[in-house]
Amino acid sequence: MPLGERAGDKSDSRYCGVETEFNEDMPLALSSNLSSGFDFLLCPLVNGSQLSALSIESLAQSALLPFAGSDLVLTPSQWSSHVVGKVSSWIDLDSDDELLRLDSETTLKQEIAWASHLSLQACLLPRPPGPSCANYARCVNQLLQGLNNMQLWLRVPLDKSDEDAMDGLSNHVNDTWEWWNSFRLLCEHHSQLSIALDVLSSLPSGNSLGRWFGEPIRAAIIHTNSFLTNARGYPCLSKRHQKLMDGFFNHSVQWTSQMREVFGDELHLQLCCVGIARNPLRPYLDYVGYLYQRMDPLSEQERFEIGYRDFLQAPLQPLMDNLEAQTYETFEKDTMKYSQYQRAVSKALFDRVPDEKASTITTVLMVVGAGRGPLVRASLQAAEATGRKLKVYAVEKNPNAIVTLHSLVKLEGWEKVVTIVSCDMRRWDAPEKADILVSELLGSFGDNELSPECLDGAQRFLKPDGISIPSSYTSFIQPVTASKLYKDVKSHKDIVHFETAYVVKLHSVARLCPSQPVFTFTHPDHSTKKSNQRYRKLRFEIPSDTGSVMVHGFAGYFDATLYKDVHLGIEPSTATPNMFSWFAIFFPLRTPICVPPGSPLELQFWRCCGSTKVWYEWCVTSPCQSSIHNPGGRSYWVGL
């Protein structure tokens, strides 16, 4: 039974399981826990105590698995939907004892084969002994090569010594993220290798916790001895644990309760014994369900965006391609964007025309890239609100959108006010100069949809003292851990996809430090030697208490000044609320960069311009050297 209902939330975080020991009566164990409200069992599939006593020879000679129950005790759908397997915890594939090491390898292969035979969705691997786990990783990597769709969850305790953070030095033994990182590097970031985090009673720093949200966490196992007792004697969690759980709920992480020898508080035990056959973990489940249900429901914007989370999309080619009706429809629903444009036009009209001349002066406003008319509408609404007279030229190159514009003008009775121009703004010969030039040519990275080039071409029909809306925009970039995005790019098995920038609704990512400005463009630009080529060297300092981090790429944003104090943008610290026209842009790295604590991360970034295209190039130069991505625009470019 899911933890509760949140409007629009159908993620895996609604489900909570329970970790149990081996049980020969699987039907009874499953039914009793499902009837208590849990959704699945995390349990050994074999009797580990018997298995560890068997020798390699006896295993090799046995054609059957005497330590495992029949697959017939549960239906295939029960195995698949309600059981997560658990590999025997005693195995040690990096042991100095050769017999134990070989015995462990045989056991691992047999148990994973049995879990695969049962069509389980996932199987839990024991925690690695530390960062030195090469043979363990080798054996798991071998299994991953021939595995069906089953996921392997590596058990990792959520731990990091505070002493490591104090001196800013990496301690590979105490920082369990290092264990995970070493393991996944040896397994080449395999898409079927994920994490099950053991949440303990003490937690590392907030920055250290934050890096995990970009990793492939599929489950979090919370120990009962991590709970406190509230005033009424019921289990509860610290504020930091609650915040962590909220974060995992938002990132589709399933929760599993684990009963330890130290089972919470004696008072919790008394509460558990109320009622007949009361599951001793039910009070903990009730509390986790309470935390889930008290979360705010997903907003309308979040429900709209949920299908786009961590989904890579190719950026628009606004000059080469004509937008389709569905794309226009989506953008036109963004009322916040057009509200900001209307505010900007209103302020510009007030500045251009004083009150005493409002009835005699007609302001010439040109919407370049008018689409299906939302900016025309916003501009006319601004004129009505300010009491100013307006003459509008709607310039649009898409012949299909022109059809809609003509219908809109006729429907709204704008024939005397709006002139429709079917032409590329860079080639139009305007009959008069404009007082105000309005455009919405911004991309996720500000200039990546060629707003500078388009507005440079349109600037010739703006009066010398004319106003451009937007008046300026700046791109921003920040390093991120984004394991899912990296694996999705890697799945294409070519360089082209690693040298392409993607539009993506970032979700399962860890933003490792604040973003920094990259390129700024201002309009109108009256300089005599203007060039839209840019180069920037950036140096990022990741907080030392974070520990080591893996950088899979860089997230890009923009912030624009429409006019004076009217701003529009998606840069996280200043993002315009309730706006969904733009997602972030993602620049991947062909080889992820591991950054140790205290080491700066240096990024070199170029905006290059040719006669027929514009493209970006990027590389990391510290703490190690990457290749230069997309040289000459060989993989990704925007056509002029």
Q: Annotated active-site positions, please? A: 440, 449
Beta pairing partners, 252: none
| DSSP class per residue in 152-191 | EEEEEE----HHHHHHT---TTT-HHHHHHHHHHHTTT-T
The verdict on whether residue 384 carries a ligand-binding annotation is no
CA separation, residue 578 to residues 234, 373, 452, 502, 574 (Å): 39, 21, 26, 22, 12
Task: Judge contact between 126 and 91, C-beta under 8 A.
Answer: yes
Q: Which two tokens stand for residue 534?
A: 């840019």
Residue type present at position 472 = S
The verdict on whether residue 337 carries a ligand-binding annotation is yes
The verdict on whether residue 396 carries a ligand-binding annotation is yes
* Nearest-angstrom CA–CA distance, 23 and 29: 7
* Nearest-angstrom CA–CA distance, 362 and 135: 78
The verdict on whether residue 425 carries a ligand-binding annotation is yes
* Nearest-angstrom CA–CA distance, 262 and 587: 47
CA-based max dimension of the chain: 101
Task: Judge contact between 217 and 248, C-beta under 8 A.
Answer: yes
Residue type present at position 401 = A
* Nearest-angstrom CA–CA distance, 281 and 227: 12
* Nearest-angstrom CA–CA distance, 222 and 349: 59
Question: Taking the CB of residue 383, how many other CB atoms lie within 10 A of it?
Answer: 24
Residue type present at position 509 = V
Q: Which two tokens stand for residue 79?
A: 């195995």
* Nearest-angstrom CA–CA distance, 402 and 410: 12
Q: What angle do CA 561, 563, 569 make, to 5 degrees?
A: 25
* Nearest-angstrom CA–CA distance, 552 and 635: 18
* Nearest-angstrom CA–CA distance, 638 and 560: 21
Closest CA to 205 of 550, 554, 571, 542: 542
Beta pairing partners, 567: 561
The verdict on whether residue 328 carries a ligand-binding annotation is yes
| Residue 76: CA count within 13 A, CB half-sphere | 3
The verdict on whether residue 535 carries a ligand-binding annotation is no
* Nearest-angstrom CA–CA distance, 395 and 390: 16
* Nearest-angstrom CA–CA distance, 353 and 363: 8
The stretches of 47-194 forming alpha helices (DSSP H) are: 48-53, 56-61, 76-82, 98-117, 134-145, 162-167, 176-186
CB-neighbour burial class of residue 369 (10 A; exposed 0-12, middle 13-18, buried 19+)? buried
Among all chains, which residue has been given the structure tokens 């005033």? Answer: 231
Residues listed for the chain = 640
CB-neighbour burial class of residue 384 (10 A; exposed 0-12, middle 13-18, buried 19+)? exposed
* Binding-site residues for S-adenosyl-L-methionine: 328, 337-338, 396, 424-425
* Binding-site residues: 328, 337-338, 396, 424-425
